[in-house]
Amino acid sequence: MISIQQLEKSFGKNRVLQGIDLEIKRGSITAILGPNGSGKTTLLKSLLGLVIPDKGRILVDGKEIDQAGKYRQLISYLPQIARFPENLQVVELLEMLSSIRRQTTNQQTLIDTFGLQPFMHKKLRYLSGGTRQKVNTVAAFMFDSPIIILDEPTTGLDPVALIKFKELVMDEKAKGKTILFTSHIMNVVEELTDDIVFLLEGKVYFHGSLEQLSTNQEEVKLERAIARILE
């Protein structure tokens, strides 16, 4: 589904990605993990075309992504920090995104799921962090995209919203969607992931299942396995 080949990216003298090779399976949920500065967000933004790699190739369904960006219609994205115009109402934001992508959406179902109806005519600047994250989640999932990329998607979600988010992710996987996400919340990773990619200093230190990582590090709990890598 997604093939990343010898990807390199530097910002000045800082080599953020150093020859990344990855194959992401169709219909899988893959967690991209690593310490701050390991290259997680740069990798995701390269896939989105928001960062142009210095070297290497990215292929989606066997076709190399191009600068024209047509392949982006295949992708839905939830950034770590979503920056939308603060004077927009929630309903205006969702209508704007719908008009840009010109695709049918299931936004009303998602609005109901996350209890956003009372906030639809409020401006973004007046929303709490948790409510904004629910809006961002609706924006990311309302299109029927085969690839979903989520950068720290659970930030600010209350326990009820977190449960609904995890159910939503599993529902999308059941539809055959390919999902990549980053998270510092290890129990979320343990519940959702099929494969783990662990980046360290811009390189792939590990790529495999949770069970394989636990076996390699001789630790049952994911957080302890990660801690052992970083020791």
Tokens matching residue 168: 């939503």
Tokens matching residue 190: 């343990």
pTM, 2 dp: 0.92
pLDDT in tens, 147-186: 999 999 999 999 999 999 999 999 999 999 999 999 989 9
Tokens matching residue 23: 């194959």
- At the topology level, CATH places domain 2-80+144-230 in Rossmann fold (3.40.50)
Tokens matching residue 125: 């600047």
- Report how far apart the first and last C-alpha atoms of the chain are (Å, whole number): 34
Element (H, E) at 151: strand 147-151
The better pLDDT of the pair 80, 132 is held by 132
pLDDT in tens, 90-103: 999 999 999 888 87
Q: What residue has token string 């919203």?
A: 161
pLDDT of residue 35: 92
